[in-house]
Amino acid sequence: MSWTNYLQPLSKQYHKHVPEEYQKYVPHLWILGAGVIGIYVLRGLISYFRILREVRGLPVKHAFLPAYEQGLRARVPHIPYILPVKDFYSRPEWDRFEKPRSDLLAYTVATQNYAIYWTANPYTAQHVFTKTSLFEKPVFNARYQAAKKFGHNIISASDGDDHKRHKSVVRGCFGEDVFRSAWEEMDNTIEMLLDEDKLREGGIMEDVGVTTIKITYIVIGKVGFGYDIPWETPRSKKGEKMGFVESYEIVDRTMLYQFVLPLWIMKILPTKELRRMGDGRTAFLAYCYEMARGKRAELTALKEAGEKSKAPVDLLGAMVHAQLVAEEEARVQHGHDSVPNVGLKEDEVIGNMFIFLLAGHETTGHTLAFTLAQLALHPEWQEEVYKEVKEVCGDERPSYRDVHRLPLCLAVGLEAMRLTDIVRQLFKVAKEDSMLPYTTWNEAGEVTHREHFVKKGSVVFIDTPACQLNPFHWKDANDFNPRRHLSDDVSRASLNNAEVPFVAFSMGPRQCIGRRFAEVEMICFISIILSKYTIHPVPIHPGETKESMKERMIGSALEDVTMTPGKFSVRFEKRH
Ligand code: HEM
């Protein structure tokens, strides 16, 4: 009897509808199907055992599905071995490294055919960020692809030539004039805040996180696009053309939907509010193109009239200007008249503007909220900052000329970021096999430096919050001590007494290009507010302890696109 005969009963049972003359082939199809599945499972198993071998020697956790996506991991239930989110995410963040006594952890995920590593060592992070021959940004990842929705941009650009091309133009946006403009707009927006929130004579700032986002959103609106953004967004009536400010507000408010939904889906969505997302996007893009073309025409006309064009002080203008400069330089270099194919295409200019909106205000807004929370909980640091501002500015209002002379104001913002990291999950892919440095320690806290062999194709996650709270590198890591960011400070703690890499803005060629912009906003906000007011927590019941307030104001923050503060208020008290 042929071996396929054994399968005949199966075929008869399940394939009654197959014509009689083909019935004899059915067993072969069963075998083919089972073979394909078998090969798939076998390949999976071989790859799984290969990964197990690769991660040997490290504390390892196993998962069936990837349970690490930022924003999701804080929200979905922990299902052991299937979706073990708690293995990938702990609060306090250092805990998951503390228990296995290693600042490098390994993960196997059954549905992914590469090893995954997670580091909480700021020096390993620095190594991964800066060794560009060994590690690269995984721009194929969904989050970077989604960021292309409004045009290819610096964040979605691949390492190397593509990124250099974007950076050569985007860099031109962050000059001294733009920083000065960022300061001035922040200063104006503080005035707006004091009037609109009725804080001028002191009072309660409700829902701090929402308010600080509004502040930085207004600043980036003016410095980014040259628009005066009012405190309350004007709404167009039915049939009226939507204004820039309204479209800008809609795109900003619905950012996650903008990322995941194509325009045609938005247009057919069943509710009016959802359809407005699509209208907002269409209008916003149309305004951006109109503005970019207008700027280009204006700057070209100036040049043709023989007037020396100065870089504009808004980011869009500065980017168009930088693009024209890149084209001019290429013309000089290549000696021909046609517009050379250099710098950015028009849709890439718009894509980068969208990125400034995306990356440029939520991050800074949330940082300011956590800064206000820390200051309210640490009045002694408010006095230190006040002393610094008085020494530098006397009775004058702090201004951009003081920006380099207020280091403690900046340090306060950086320390709030260190304790509540904002962009929490950065990762790179290994381009080559290499050794990854890490440390382990024993019960007595004695440290051993080690290296782990990492294969090409592995993914290394930088756990930025855990790096910033690593007690082997930051002395009294959980204490709020802004002075540790000052170069002359002796309380800075590291294993080798050197400056600890600060990873909150990333490092290396892909580090945050808007860092100084954000820092200028922070220095301006902190110096002006603290020179006029003292900040106080608002207890939710009489006698609420400091610990409870800290938990409510800082511990309640939730991961979203960035670390988002929970709802809390602070009280402004006017200084006399
Ligand atoms: C506290 C505020 C901020 C924080 C914590 C922050 C953090 C970061 C981080 C961690 C990255 C690396 C992202 C990655 O590799 O996936 C990044 C990149 C970037 N940031 Fe920021 N950022 C801040 C403010 C800003 C501002 C104000 C702007 C612009 C106005 C900006 C523009 C950008 C851009 C364009 C990149 C991409 C750089 C590149 O790939 O070359 N950021 N930022």
ipTM of the complex: 0.99
Q: Which of 27-31, 309-313, 347-351 has the highest mean pLDDT?
A: 347-351
Q: For 67-121, where are the alpha helices, taking DSSP H only? A: 85-88, 95-98
* pLDDT tens profile 325-343: 888 887 777 766 655 567 8
Query: Which segment of 61-70, 127-136, 391-400, 517-526 scores lowest on mean pLDDT?
Result: 61-70
From the alpha carbon of 355, which atom of ligand 1 is closest?
Answer: 35
Strand partners, 122: none
Two tokens at 62? 């196993």
Query: How high is the mean pLDDT of the chain?
Result: 89
Which DSSP symbol is given to 7?
G
Nearest CA to ligand 1 atom 17: 512
Nearest CA to ligand 1 atom 35: 513
Q: What is the mean pLDDT of residues 553-565?
A: 92
What is the structure's pLDDT at 538? Answer: 97
* pLDDT tens profile 267-287: 887 788 788 889 999 999 999
Residue ranges around ligand 1 (CB below 6 Å):
154-155, 167, 355-356, 359-360, 363-364, 367, 422-423, 426, 504-506, 510, 512-514, 517-518
Residue 512 annotated in ligand binding: yes
Query: Which segment of 180-184, 354-358, 426-430 scores lowest on mean pLDDT?
Result: 354-358
From the alpha carbon of 173, which atom of ligand 1 is closest?
Answer: 30
- Cβ distance 528 to 397 under 8 Å? yes
Tell me the CA–centroid distance for residue 250 and ligand 1, in Å. 22
Tell me the CA–centroid distance for residue 352 and ligand 1, in Å. 12
Domain boundaries 55-149+424-503, corresponding CATH code: 3.30.43.20
Nearest CA to ligand 1 atom 1: 364
Nearest CA to ligand 1 atom 15: 510
Query: Which segment of 68-77, 207-216, 368-377, 521-530 scores lowest on mean pLDDT?
Result: 68-77
What is the structure's pLDDT at 5? Answer: 63
- What is the rounded distance in angstroms from the CA atom of residue 88 to the CA atom of residue 69? 9
What is the structure's pLDDT at 12? Answer: 60
3-class secondary-structure state, position 439: strand
Helix axes 346-377, 379-393, angle to 10 degrees: 120
Two tokens at 180? 């000065």
From the alpha carbon of 522, which atom of ligand 1 is closest?
Answer: 1
* pLDDT tens profile 421-470: 999 889 999 999 999 999 999 999 999 999 999 999 999 999 999 999 99
Does pLDDT of 493 surpass 60?
no
Nearest CA to ligand 1 atom 9: 505
Tell me the CA–centroid distance for residue 500 and ligand 1, in Å. 20
What is the structure's pLDDT at 88? Answer: 87
Q: How confident is the model at residue 309 (pLDDT cuts 50, 70, 90)?
A: low
Tell me the CA–centroid distance for residue 374 and ligand 1, in Å. 23
Nearest CA to ligand 1 atom 42: 514
Tell me the CA–centroid distance for residue 364 and ligand 1, in Å. 10
Nearest CA to ligand 1 atom 21: 512
Q: Do domains 55-149+424-503 and 171-420+515-574 have the same CATH topology?
A: no
Q: How confident is the model at residue 489 (pLDDT cuts 50, 70, 90)?
A: low
From the alpha carbon of 315, which atom of ligand 1 is closest?
Answer: 30
CB pairs under 8 A, 24+ apart, for 446-455? 447/472, 447/495, 452/57, 452/58, 452/104, 452/117, 453/54, 454/54, 454/115, 454/117, 454/430, 455/54, 455/114, 455/115, 455/430
Nearest CA to ligand 1 atom 41: 510
Does pLDDT of 546 surpass 60?
yes
3-class secondary-structure state, position 97: helix
Nearest CA to ligand 1 atom 14: 426
What is the structure's pLDDT at 492? Answer: 44
Nearest CA to ligand 1 atom 27: 360
Q: Structurally, what CATH architecture does the domain formed by 171-420+515-574 represent?
A: Orthogonal Bundle (1.10)
The residue to mutate among 314, 428, 512, 559, having the most atoms of ligand 1 within 8 angstroms of its beta carbon, is 512
Q: How confident is the model at residue 90 (pLDDT cuts 50, 70, 90)?
A: confident
Nearest CA to ligand 1 atom 11: 512
Q: Which residue has the higher pLDDT, 73 or 207?
A: 207
Tell me the CA–centroid distance for residue 318 and ligand 1, in Å. 18
Residue 420's nearest CA partner among 499, 366, 360, 462 is: 366
Which DSSP symbol is given to 55?
T
* pLDDT tens profile 154-166: 999 999 999 999 9
Taking the domains of the chain in order of start, what are their residue ranges? Answer: 3-51, 55-149+424-503, 171-420+515-574
From the alpha carbon of 167, which atom of ligand 1 is closest?
Answer: 41
Tell me the CA–centroid distance for residue 510 and ligand 1, in Å. 9
What is the structure's pLDDT at 256? Answer: 80
Q: What is the mean pLDDT of residues 559-568?
A: 91
From the alpha carbon of 163, which atom of ligand 1 is closest?
Answer: 41
What is the structure's pLDDT at 495? Answer: 38
Q: How confident is the model at residue 14 (pLDDT cuts 50, 70, 90)?
A: low
Q: How confident is the model at residue 48 (pLDDT cuts 50, 70, 90)?
A: confident
Tell me the CA–centroid distance for residue 545 and ligand 1, in Å. 36
Q: What is the mean pLDDT of residues 112-118?
A: 94
Q: How confident is the model at residue 497 (pLDDT cuts 50, 70, 90)?
A: very low
What is the structure's pLDDT at 138? Answer: 93
Tell me the CA–centroid distance for residue 285 and ligand 1, in Å. 22
Tell me the CA–centroid distance for residue 154 and ligand 1, in Å. 10
- What is the rounded distance in angstroms from the CA atom of residue 312 to the CA atom of residue 520? 18
From the alpha carbon of 521, which atom of ligand 1 is closest?
Answer: 27
3-class secondary-structure state, position 482: helix
Q: What is the mean pLDDT of residues 212-221?
A: 95
Tell me the CA–centroid distance for residue 88 and ligand 1, in Å. 24
Task: Judge residue 47's burial from the number of C-beta atoms within 10 Å of its C-beta, 0-12 exposed, 13-18 middle, 19 or more buried.
Answer: middle
What is the structure's pLDDT at 93? Answer: 93
Q: What is the mean pLDDT of residues 498-506?
A: 88
